[in-house]
Every structure is written in structure tokens, then in C-alpha cells.
Amino acid sequence: MVVAGLTLGMAVSCGPSKQVQNLTKTTQETLELVKKEAQRAIALTVEKVKNYEVDPDIGKEIIRNLKDAERKIDTQLAVAVQLEKTGTKEEILQFAERTNVIIQSALTDLKSLNDLYDISTFSSFETATFFPAGGFGIPPEKQDEAKKSIEPIVQRIIKFFGDHPRQRFVAVIVCYGFSDETPIAKESPLYSPLLAKMKTNNPTRQELNVKLSELRAKSIANLLVDLIKINEGLIPNPKLINYDIKWMGKGEELPYPDRVKDYKADDKRRRMVSLIWNVLPGSLYAQGLSNETAMR
């Protein structure tokens, strides 16, 4: 990534007056480069959302904060133009010092976001991997298979923390559950447990399948959290990490219809759960920090 090598260096091999004379121009050039990288990150985020590697709501939050960073850079650029015309030596040096803090913070965030986007952050699984037919809890006989499926995701998350040991992050984990159109009969052993978790006494087939897919998504999200907790000793600075864990039941909504065009009403490809995880700098996902979300 271009930003990795950027810095606003002030120690140059020329006299003080020459250094100050060029400092405003150097600052402007560096700000322009950082702005281009922020714009590139926005375009990448849009692409990742389109490819299901970033949740749409999370993507909006990232883009909003990247655009805020752009506006800050534009403000600094406007100040630089004015200082170039009328600024004193002291004003220019103070401006360069303040701007360097902004630049280095932006570079750190952009690099970690770029590193994240180099990793696969989307996974999907057939529900049969985790649940028996008609169940939404992971039974003992499925635990080993379920953990084996989730473990690679846990290792990627922990490795990312290890690669950025001094940064404050929010680990945003979003799990979606999907179902097909198979009815859940009232005499089914699944009906009563689902009904107990719903706000209606006479749910439709669609409402039952939404609740079933939601509870399955919650089970998978909780399993991922449990496995991270087990491995927390491998995280360099766990106190710097916040977690925002989300799950949602999509019910009979078609999963990723732009990828599969021939779904059927009774289709195991629709009975699935998907996981999207993103480890984001606090400045790009302040919501997770303000909530101070902790693992359960």
C-alpha cells in the first residue's frame, strides 16, 4: 500500500530557512497522497460490501468515517494554502507538527484496513454442519465438527490482532442465518421451543423460519466468541480489543441470489449460515467503542 511509506519528515539536509520554506509544500503533497488512499479505501469498501466481505451497515460506517477523514484533510489543505501565502515561520512549524499527527493516525488506520481487506473475511456453512434436522442448538455430537469449521476463522482473527499489537480495534462479527421454505408443523418437536421465543401465538411459516434461522445464527456467533475466549491468551493486548457481535435471521430470503440462480423451495443450499468478520480501527468504527461491547 502506498501509504505505508509516507511520512512527513522534517529532518532534511538543508538550512532551517530552506526547510521552513519547503515545509508547507511537503505537507500539502503528503496530505494529497493520504487523501487519495482514503478515496481508494472507500472504493475498496464498496467492493467488499458487494462481495459480501463487509456487512452493508458496517460498510456505511467505515465509509462515513473515511469521508470524515477526507474532510479533515481538506481543511488542513486549505490552511496550508493560506500559510503558504502569509504564514510566519512559527505558524508553519506548528501547523506541520499538528498535521503530522493527523497524517500518521490516518496512515495507521488505512494500513490496517488494507491489511484486513487482503484477508478472506466471509465464510458460509450448511446448517447440517452444526445442527440436527429441526434444531437450533449445537448438540454434543456436532460440537467437534462445528469447532473444526469455525477454528480457521478464529485463527485469522487472532493472527490479525498479533500483526497489529498496539492498535485499538473493534472486532465486528456478523452472522446471518437462512432457511428454505420447509414448514414447521405444530406437532413437530421444534414448534413449541420456537413459539416460546416469539411474540405471536400463531406464527406463519415464514415467521417460524425467520426465528429458526435467527437462533441458528446466534448459536454460531456464540461458538465463535467462545473459541476466541479460549484463545485469548494468544492476543498481545486483549484490553485494546472491543467486540460487536451481531446475528440476524433472514428466514426464507434467498442467500446471495446474484451468485445462485436456481434455488428451489426445499433446497439445502438455502439452509445455511454465513459469517462476516471485520477487525476495524476504533476511529473507523466508533460505534463499537462507544458501546464498549464485551464478549459475553
89: containing domain: 18-118
Q: Are residues 178 and 64 in the same domain?
A: no
**2 located within any domain:** no
pLDDT tens per residue, range 30-53: 999 999 999 999 999 999 999 999
Q: Are 116 and 156 in contact (CB under 8 A)?
A: no
pTM of the model: 0.85
Task: Using the 3D structure, point to which of 118, 141, 158 is the last residue of a domain.
Answer: 118
Q: Which of 68, 97, 118 is a domain's end point?
A: 118
Whether the CB-CB separation of 248 and 217 falls below 8 Å is answered with yes
pLDDT at position 18, please? 58
Report the share of the chain in percent with pLDDT over 90: 75
In this predicted structure, the answer to whether residue 296 has a pLDDT above a threshold of 70 is no
Could you tell me if residue 65 is inside a domain?
yes
Q: How confident is the model at residue 109 (pLDDT cuts 50, 70, 90)?
A: very high
Domain for residue 198, yes or no? yes
Amino acid identity, position 235: I
Query: Mind listing the pLDDT tens digit for each residue in 278-293?
Result: 999 998 997 765 554 4
| 139 shares a domain with 71 | no
Q: Which of 90, 118, 146 is the last residue of a domain?
A: 118
Asked if residue 10 belongs to a domain, the reply is no
Mean pLDDT, the chain, whole residue set: 89
CB 63 within 8 A of CB 42: yes
pLDDT at 29: 92
The rounded percent of the chain whose pLDDT value lies above 70 is 90
